[in-house]
Structure 1
Amino acid sequence: MLAETLTALAAAGGAAVVQAAGTDAWSGFRQGMARLIGQGDPERERDAARQLERTAALLAAEQGDDQARMLRQVEQNGVWRGRLESLLETLDDARRRQAAADLRALLQTHAEPAGGASAPGGVAANRDVTIRAEAPNGVATGLNYGGFVFSVPQLPDPHQG
């Protein structure tokens, strides 16, 4: 099991994949991420690059539908978080430390400016944020790199109007 800091780092890496896809920074970010995942194995690096391109294509395909796009972003964030967690778990201590340092450097190099949002209607905040979905078909999503409380509000009694 990974230390909490490495789990958070993998989560940041997953979010960075989603944020960078389709931007001007994508090419450099994709190359750096593929190199990190490949860990010196050219075939693994090529495979990672192909999977990153697949992610970018999936995200680009959802541009017209906000709800579908958000769901796809959450899905792909989880895919890449899991992939990075798996990578870090399989490495010995020395290689894990180096991979973590490489991932931090990649994220810092391609980090979004403070306070920016990665998608139309998105928000990045260093404060409390309330996310609410409106009935009947609303969807609420959020990415968080600290502690949070998730609650589902109770539906009003039908007799209350």
Structure 2
Amino acid sequence: MSFISDLAPVAALVGPTVLQLAVTDGYQTSKERLVRLFGRGEAERENAVRDSLEGTGAALAAAPDEEARERVRAEHAQRWEDEFIQLLLPLGAAERRRAAEEVREIMKEVAPSTRSGDISISGVTFNERANIQVGNGGYQVNNFGAAG
């Protein structure tokens, strides 16, 4: 499994998934799964991740208008994507696959709550052509271009 070709697309969707969790009162189980994943089994780190998740929600809620919310979304989505990549870097291939699968499972838990036409992805930057399909609780990411 190539890190860039197989896990980077999952990392790109971590930000929007975290944003959805941060602004929603539900999904407590999904939030805790995310906290455990990013906390790496360390209680102090899990508390910091939980606080950071709450901070993301508070920053979005405090944005005075849609333009400011878009800036906050982009900033926080990138921050969570970067955090996920940092989580993956020291792991071996099997651990990376498990972490990516955990994120995919969390995404599946969050995605079914949206009704048809209500899906929104923001704050994701693709440096190559990309196609994302989401529907019926699933997702598909296709990146076109040379793998790095």
Same structural fold, with TM-score higher than 0.5 when normalized by the shorter chain? yes
Quote the residue 1:79 is aligned against.
79
- 1:26 deviates by 4.8
Runs (4+) off by over 6 Å:
none
Q: CA RMSD in A?
A: 2.4
Quote the residue 1:5 is aligned against.
6
Quote the residue 1:47 is aligned against.
48
Match of 2:119 among 117, 120, 125: 117
Give TM-score scaled by structure 1 length: 0.68
1:41-84: CA deviations, max 9, x gaps? 2222111111111111111111x311111111011000001100
Greater strand fraction, Structure 1 or Structure 2 = 2
1:94-140: CA deviations, max 9, x gaps? 2111111111111111125353235xxxxx6xxxxxxxxxxxxxxxx
* Whole-angstrom distance in 2 between the partners of 1:77 and 1:53: 14
- 1:87 deviates by 0.6
Structure 2 counterparts to residues 1-161 of structure 1, below 5 A? 2-62=3-63, 64-111=64-111, 112-113=113-114, 114-118=116-120, 143=124, 147-148=129-130
- 1:16 deviates by 0.8
Matched residue type, 1:87: L
For these two proteins, the number of residue pairs brought into alignment is 126
- 1:19 deviates by 2.2
Matched residue type, 1:54: G
* Whole-angstrom distance in 2 between the partners of 1:90 and 1:25: 32
Matched residue type, 2:9: A
* Whole-angstrom distance in 1 between the partners of 2:123 and 2:87: 24
Unaligned runs of 5+ in 1: 119-123, 125-140, 149-161
* Whole-angstrom distance in 2 between the partners of 1:104 and 1:60: 26
* Whole-angstrom distance in 2 between the partners of 1:72 and 1:28: 25
Greater helix fraction, Structure 1 or Structure 2 = 2
What is the aligned-residue identity percentage? 33
* Whole-angstrom distance in 2 between the partners of 1:54 and 1:6: 26
Measured at CA, do residues 142 and 46 of structure 1 come closer, stay the same or move farther in structure 2, by a change above 3 Å? closer
